[in-house]
Chains A and B, each alone.
Chain A
Amino acid sequence: MTVAESVKSAVGLADTPGTALDWPEAKKRADQVRKWGIEQLLANWRRAKGKERDALLWGDEVEYLVVAVDDEAKKARLSLAQAEILKSLAEDEANWKSGGSNSIQNKEHDGEDPPHFHPEFGRFMLEATPGRPWGIGFKDLLKVESNMKWRREVAKSHMASNEYPITLTTFPRLGTKDDYIQPYYPPSGAALRSQFVPDEIANPHIRFPTLAGNIRSRRGRKVELNVPVFKDTNTPEPFNDPTVNYDLHNWPEDDDVRNGAAKEGHVYMDAMAFGMGSCCLQITFQAKNMTEGRKLYDQLSPLGPILLALTAATPIYKGFLVDTDVRWNQIGNAVDDRTREELGEAPLKNDRWRIPKSRYASNSTYLSQDPRLRKEYLDPDLIVDEEIKKRLIDGGMDELLATHFAHLFIRDPLVIFSEDLEELDLNKADHFENLQSTNWQHMRFKPPPPEKDDIGWRVEFRSMEIQMTDFENAAFSIFIVLVTRAILSFDLNFYIPIQRTTENMETAHARNAVLDRKFYFRKDPFSPRARRPHPQSSTNGEVSSATSSAVNTPPPSPPLKPVESEYELMTISDIINGSADGSFPGLIPLVESYLNSVNVDVETRCFLATYLDLIWKRANGTLWTGARWIREYVASHPAYKHDSVVSEEICYDLVKAVEEMSVKEGKHGSVGWELLRGKK
């Protein structure tokens, strides 16, 4: 089972990984890693391109913050107990496999494999995936939510009694001056060189400090996150982040703030942990073959920003309310390894390109050999490594796919183990994954792992924010699964120029973007009637993308309209629920129409109806987003002074409320009803 494998930061965490190369030693081997990675990709692609008829399997990944609540001091802290918790969980799982009894046993989950837990970048994080991937069997869809709840229970049972797994995207007071972690470590270590967080905040596995350190070294300074502060009535004007220390002289990077790294009007952060310490909800699908995988990659791409805005849950950073609602760009900035030359701040001398996006960003390519993919949808300024592209094309790969990988491979590998560079093994994918898994785009196209025959081509949907309850997380996971089935069944077309998706991603950051902003979206998601022609007329009308070889060749008729006329700005409500005038059908009506075409049992349909209802009401504003609820919670807290500051006391109460919400789920007027039920 690796459909939902952990992919965020690490390829795999061997116990004795070897010698990680520091920058600039790693830089010297970058070309070799890329070259070998491409050879591994080609070998794997040749082996797997004909893989057919894989079933739909999918997996969700839920990430948790582990918080320790101190009721006496009225403080909530992040617990750095990841390693102990994971060890204890692993023992339990081993025990389960050998038939012993333990905390995993649970009557309700008879026949289900125990969930998997994984380490994450933050030492205060856990990631959990289902023990086995889900299928499309509707009975499976019913199990998702209870399985998520089970994961939470299992995780909790391996924690101290005052510790809880909570699903906030970020810890509200990460990086403040108080003792927000337990055990406490003072800030500023050799790897992160942050003035706000200690190196101990990150997973101690050599891969993680090396990753953080090499991003910083490659970049030539610390990463830089400036998030606009939310200007409340008592917020100082101008606002200069009062937690920034301009007088530190421990590391050369302490100069960053003296060189203007912290911007007026913004909350300033300086370490990878501020981004990669965020929790997300990611869904991975297995496609029936490569063709279907490429189609899903393309068609889900425009939905990324929409679902980001709809799941918005991140209004607080480092103890301040901020003016953005989502985590996305903060993570992008937290792992941005681009040099000044690549950023366009200095003339190109040593580097090869100016690169417009961070390694963590919205995606920039379309992959599908789909006649509906017009060349106008592609980014004309896409940066690709032409040499790599040529090698892939010479190796037999088609231009679109070669372009995609040659784009991902413009980056340097960040973590290189010298032992891995002794011999190229074409039956492995380690060098390929080195680049692939450190390109954190909002879609990821995943070739089958060479060592596992039973896994097919997969697509990962990565933009969603984690929600505070498992009900919501199940709802959004299942919604996306149903959308993929509607896409394939109706042969939907969501193509827009990919730069519009990049713009939408920015738009999704705005406070309350879900209701206040509009997003570029395709007006007509249906393909022109591709149908059985009249017997006297010619050729195959049946659509079969599998046999289509045409790339970027426009269909013969009718003549295509200008690309600009194909899309327009729409509200999220129009996109999700359908426009009032009926011109856009809406994703939920499409999903319902799909469900009306398949045999669904009564119980499942009623379950699904509650999920679709949640999403429907989030989209039209009847229910609040997590971000809005958190804002309202802070604003109405008696200790809040309307100065944007989320104090320790507020943070404590908020964490307690979120924990309570994950159990009571807003039922009977309990906390969180505004975002879950809509009525007390």
Chain B
Amino acid sequence: MKLILSTSNLMTSGGHTVIRQASTEKSNVELINSLRSNFQTAQQLSSAETTTTPRYRAWTRETEDGLYIPAIDFAQRGLAEEKAQYDITVKLFYLPGIPASRRCAHTREAIDLVLKELHVDSIDLLIVSFPGILFDAEDDSEEEVESDTGSEEPDDFDSMIRTWRVLEDLQEKGMISQLGVAEFGSERLARFLPHTNVKPSVDQINLKDCCVVPKSLILYAKSENIQLLTHNDCMDILPIGTTRELLGPGEKGAGILASTPDADDGIQGDVEPQWVVKYTAVVKDRGVVENKGYFALADMGTCVQARED
């Protein structure tokens, strides 16, 4: 069973996510806090209908896509003005430990959700974040970070290329105007570009607290007409343990997962996050962020290999 987690629009959600983070800390506070707060709000709104059991059924909705947590009414208006007024940027995080073979389907799922949410039929920029690539501004050599368990191979180059083909296909279909990558250093870019039909027009890097960008990257990006953009997203944006805590029965949890392996107060099985997507809709001429949010998808099942993280 699929669980579709959503934050709703962070811009109007009461500021739980505006926190000055210690600049050295790469944090996923924004995603986790906004998911939690969105769940709580939905729970509170549904408190009149507590007769439903298990309780979560009152504020979630099961459809053929999966279980929406919380329930979403896609009939609600998307953006205030017509699409041409906006720059819509989507960043898709492929998560560590998830087979690259699933990315084709994941990409479709993620983009479809965003299009449905914003009531648009295309987006302006899709940035993909491959797991395990960490750009280091000091020496311009991205590290290949081992995933948490150490049992996975770092994302290999061939699977990146294969994934890129999927994106190029979507771009050709007109669903996406521009493609981008995240955390690529100049070497990786140089290796990557010859294999692409559609070049990335953006490379998004995390500058941490310093504004030190390797000259080689600046020059290379300039020569290849690639825009260097900044971000402050977390590398491992949705670890399994955090997901379990978010959805679990405990005090901080949403009560989606069963409390014990034989209880019927929630869904049985192991939870495995598959991907996270962040979307923003910015009014072009005015620089106003009208909508920003996340979707995350997690699989439930006994077939999922249980792991510690």
Chain A positions 586 through 600: 1 when the CB is less than 8 Å from some CB of chain B, otherwise 0 = 101110111011111
Overall SS of chain B's interface: mixed
Q: How far is the CB of B9 from chain A (nearest CB, A)?
A: 7
Contact of B288 among A488, A528, A599 (CB under 8 A): A488
With a cutoff of 8 Å between Cβ atoms, the chain A residues found around residue B248 in the complex are: none
Q: Interface range on chain B: under 10, 10 to 19, 20 to 34, or 35 or more?
A: 35 or more
Contact of A532 among B9, B18, B211, B292 (CB under 8 A): B9
Q: Is residue A672 contacting chain B, with contact meaning CB distance below 8 A?
A: no
Given A489-B288, A596-B232, A598-B287, check contact A532 B8 (CB 8 Å): yes
Contact A534 B71 (CB under 8 A): yes
Q: Is residue B41 contacting chain A, with contact meaning CB distance below 8 A?
A: yes
Contact B231 A56 (CB under 8 A): no
Q: Which residue of B lies closest to A610 (CB)?
A: B211
With a cutoff of 8 Å between Cβ atoms, the chain B residues found around residue A599 in the complex are: 87, 89, 125, 202, 229, 282
Query: Bound state CA distance, A529 and B41, in angstroms?
Result: 9
Query: Bound state CA distance, A78 and B282, in angstroms?
Result: 48
Q: Which residue of B lies closest to A577 (CB)?
A: B20
Q: Which of A313-321, A432-440, A536-544, A649-657 contacts B (4 or more CB under 8 A)?
A: A536-544
Q: Which of A42-50, A464-472, A601-609 contacts B (4 or more CB under 8 A)?
A: A601-609
Q: Is residue B225 contacting chain A, with contact meaning CB distance below 8 A?
A: no
Given A56-B286, A532-B76, A602-B205, check contact A590 B18 (CB 8 Å): yes
Query: Bound state CA distance, A526 and B283, in angstroms?
Result: 21
Query: Bound state CA distance, A592 and B20, in angstroms?
Result: 8
Q: How far is the CB of A556 from chain B (nearest CB, A)?
A: 14
With a cutoff of 8 Å between Cβ atoms, the chain B residues found around residue A135 in the complex are: 285
Query: Bound state CA distance, A534 and B71, in angstroms?
Result: 7
Q: How far is the CB of B227 from chain A (nearest CB, A)?
A: 6
Q: Which residue of A lies closest to B20 (CB)?
A: A589
With a cutoff of 8 Å between Cβ atoms, the chain A residues found around residue B287 in the complex are: 56, 136, 485, 598
Query: Bound state CA distance, A584 and B298, in angstroms?
Result: 34
Query: Bound state CA distance, A592 and B12, in angstroms?
Result: 17
With a cutoff of 8 Å between Cβ atoms, the chain B residues found around residue A602 in the complex are: 205, 207, 211, 213, 218, 228-230
With a cutoff of 8 Å between Cβ atoms, the chain B residues found around residue A532 in the complex are: 8-9, 72-73, 76
Q: Which residues in chain A, 579-638, are within 8 Å of chain B measured between CB atoms?
A: 582, 585-586, 588-590, 592-594, 596-603, 605-606, 609
Q: Is residue A641 contacting chain B, with contact meaning CB distance below 8 A?
A: no
Q: How far is the CB of B73 from chain A (nearest CB, A)?
A: 4
Given A526-B14, A582-B19, A585-B20, check contact A535 B61 (CB 8 Å): yes
Contact of A598 among B17, B20, B282 (CB under 8 A): B282
Chain A positions 427 through 470: 1 when the CB is less than 8 Å from some CB of chain B, otherwise 0 = 00000000000000000000000000000000000000000000
Query: Bound state CA distance, A336 and B109, in angstroms?
Result: 66
Q: How far is the CB of B23 from chain A (nearest CB, A)?
A: 10
With a cutoff of 8 Å between Cβ atoms, the chain B residues found around residue A594 in the complex are: 289
Contact of B80 among A489, A529, A541, A544 (CB under 8 A): A544
Overall SS of chain A's interface: loop
Q: Is residue B280 contacting chain A, with contact meaning CB distance below 8 A?
A: yes
With a cutoff of 8 Å between Cβ atoms, the chain B residues found around residue A541 in the complex are: 76
Contact A606 B211 (CB under 8 A): yes
Contact of B229 among A585, A589, A590, A600 (CB under 8 A): A600
Contact B70 A534 (CB under 8 A): yes
Query: Bound state CA distance, A588 and B20, in angstroms?
Result: 9
Contact B230 A605 (CB under 8 A): yes
Q: Which residues in chain B, 1-52, are within 8 Å of chain A measured between CB atoms?
A: 8-9, 11-15, 17-20, 37, 41-42, 45-46, 49
With a cutoff of 8 Å between Cβ atoms, the chain B residues found around residue A586 in the complex are: 20
Contact A531 B9 (CB under 8 A): yes
Q: Is residue A55 contacting chain B, with contact meaning CB distance below 8 A?
A: yes
Query: Bound state CA distance, A56 and B287, in angstroms?
Result: 8
Query: Bound state CA distance, A605 and B229, in angstroms?
Result: 9
Q: Which residue of A lies closest to B45 (CB)?
A: A534
Q: Is residue B290 contacting chain A, with contact meaning CB distance below 8 A?
A: yes
Chain B positions 223 through 250: 1 when the CB is less than 8 Å from some CB of chain A, otherwise 0 = 0000111111000000000000000000
Q: Which residue of A lies closest to B280 (CB)?
A: A597
With a cutoff of 8 Å between Cβ atoms, the chain B residues found around residue A582 in the complex are: 19
On A, residues with C-beta under 8 Å from B are 53, 55-56, 135-136, 288, 485, 488-491, 524-537, 540-544, 546, 578, 582, 585-586, 588-590, 592-594, 596-603, 605-606, 609
Q: Please list 24 pairs of residues, one from A and one from B, whose beta carbons are closer than 8 Å in the complex, sorted by A's number.
A: A55-B286, A485-B289, A489-B288, A490-B11, A490-B18, A529-B13, A530-B12, A531-B41, A533-B45, A534-B46, A534-B70, A542-B12, A546-B80, A585-B15, A588-B20, A597-B289, A598-B280, A600-B229, A602-B205, A602-B213, A602-B228, A603-B228, A605-B211, A605-B230
New A-B contacts (6) at CB < 8 Å, excluding given A589-B20, A600-B229: A53-B285, A524-B15, A535-B71, A593-B18, A599-B87, A606-B207
On B, residues with C-beta under 8 Å from A are 8-9, 11-15, 17-20, 37, 41-42, 45-46, 49, 59, 61, 70-73, 76-77, 80-81, 85, 87, 89, 125, 202, 205, 207, 211, 213, 218, 227-232, 280, 282-283, 285-290, 292
